[in-house]
Structure 1
Amino acid sequence: MSKNTHIYGTRAIIEAINAGKEIGKIYLQKGLNNPLFKELELLIRDHGISTSYVPQEKLYKLSDQNHQGAIATISPIQFADFEATAEAILMSEKPGLFLLLDQLTDVRNFGAIIRTAACTGVDAIIIPKSGGAPVTDDTVKTSAGAIFNIPICKVDHIKDALFYLQGSGVQVVAATEKTEDSIYDLDYTTPTALVMGSEGKGVTAGVLKLVDHKAKLPMTGSISSLNVSVACGAFLYEIVRQRR
């Protein structure tokens, strides 16, 4: 872990959160129970920061610094305000295109998706404050710098963004194998939000219940699923094709 993108120590992380630093994820040592540690835990909950409780050995693998049982990653980007970003996009003459990532966990998949999104005209990417992949050095590298050219917004829950977009006239389409409808059966020429799920579980059941459409990619070989970044690219380029 590079020192310039991480904060070590309970007090230092508390001060960083209070100062408004963009914290990607916090790793906390299991079993600690001192007052300062409890103060940090409360602050983490209040700000909805993604957190993992790990053994002490894991922290020492992450860093040989005097971490006091807590290491935080600093996001290399500033996140955009969701409602202000969505409003500006929806006021544009061209139909908006939003990408919602529901519990995506792999930072390299995240970076690859950002790169494809930037190449296909996605106007904004929306991720949850907790439970998803953090923005790390690997994310930036895999995105080939595209992460600096597309707004990324954090929301308390993907459902919050979904309700807002639907209320603004945006159709929400979930990429999922749990449907008989093909990607090619839908019209993407209107304002659209595409929801991609996690690598293992796909789009969560609660989100699937709320979307306007579900669509899947046809599979003709012996392998029944695609990597999420590849599947996302296939969906986005079908949208590009229809909008040309």
Structure 2
Amino acid sequence: MKNEDYQIFGIRAIIEAINAGKTLDKVFIQKGLKGDLIKELETLIRKNGIGFSYVPIEKLNRLTRGNHQGVVASISPIAFYELEELVEKVLANENKVPLFLLLDQLSDVRNFGAIIRTAECTGVDGIIIQKKGAAPVTADTIKTSAGAAFKVPIAKVNHLKDAVFYLQASGIKVISATEKTENTIYDVSLKEPSAIVMGSEDVGITPSILKASDATAKLPLLGEIGSLNVSVACGVFLYEAVRQRLN
């Protein structure tokens, strides 16, 4: 399985894929591309809330060896959930305390895959990501997740902040992992229905999401390096939830 297995290219081919209901993770469009067909594609992309970016032709040439016509799209190997559908399904299970994971602009596909793998091992009920700016589910993601990407439900939303509000309205406490707090993860209760927010590799969690969270927590760092890899930090947070719930 290669990343190329989940790519399509050519303007008309991508238009047809969208119209056929295919789940596209992201569309890469050559900068400066003009014409009626590209305008039709851009309209479809925006209408369907598909992530896209304008890139130099060299980027497209690296993505595929085919005649891309200035456009390459990545097709997701998995089907995504709607947030409401996912939350309702999880809350309907009275035998388990819900545990969700929100990823705020995580961009590295291998970090994403590693997090999905840990999420599956720790009983996470669903992962929530934003449609734009989030790492796509690629062949590398699937491989790094050891296949867990086919097991853990993933929902895509337009705005992660709206997902925070929806979870809170559904009785789920939202805890953001950030170094900008005095509380450690060991000071926060994760025994009740919870959602843990992990930030991006470079800038962390969006300030508006931090502000909207019910609690914030950090990991104590005893060495000289000021941060952990996000997938490692996420694993510690999730296993603390497991520890508390087992006790």
Please report the TM-score for the alignment, with normalisation by the length of structure 2: 0.96
Q: How does 1:39-188 map to 2 (within 5 A)?
A: 39-93=40-94, 94-188=96-190
Give the CA deviation at 1:91.
2.2
Give the CA deviation at 1:152.
0.6
| Counterpart residue type for residue 176 of structure 1 | T
* Corresponding residue of 1:211: 213
- 1:75-122 CA-partner distances (Å, limit 9, x unpaired): 000112221111121122221000000100000000000000000010
Distance 1:231 1:210 in 2: 21
Tell me how many residue pairs correspond in the alignment: 244
Q: Which runs of 4+ in 1 moved over 2 A?
A: 1-4
* Corresponding residue of 1:241: 243
| Counterpart residue type for residue 42 of structure 1 | T
Q: Secondary structure at the match of 1:214?
A: strand
| Counterpart residue type for residue 33 of structure 2 | L
* Corresponding residue of 2:227: 225
Distance 1:2 1:125 in 2: 22
Distance 1:167 1:4 in 2: 40
Distance 1:104 1:166 in 2: 22
Give the CA deviation at 1:166.
0.2
Distance 1:205 1:46 in 2: 28
Structure 2 gaps, min length 5? none
Distance 2:4 2:86 in 1: 32
Please report the TM-score for the alignment, with normalisation by the length of structure 1: 0.98
Distance 2:194 2:3 in 1: 38
Shifted more, 52-61 versus 217-226: the winner is 52-61
| Counterpart residue type for residue 138 of structure 2 | T
Distance 1:34 1:127 in 2: 33
Q: Secondary structure at the match of 1:126?
A: strand
Distance 1:63 1:44 in 2: 20
Shifted more, 152-161 versus 196-205: the winner is 152-161
Give the CA deviation at 1:3.
4.3
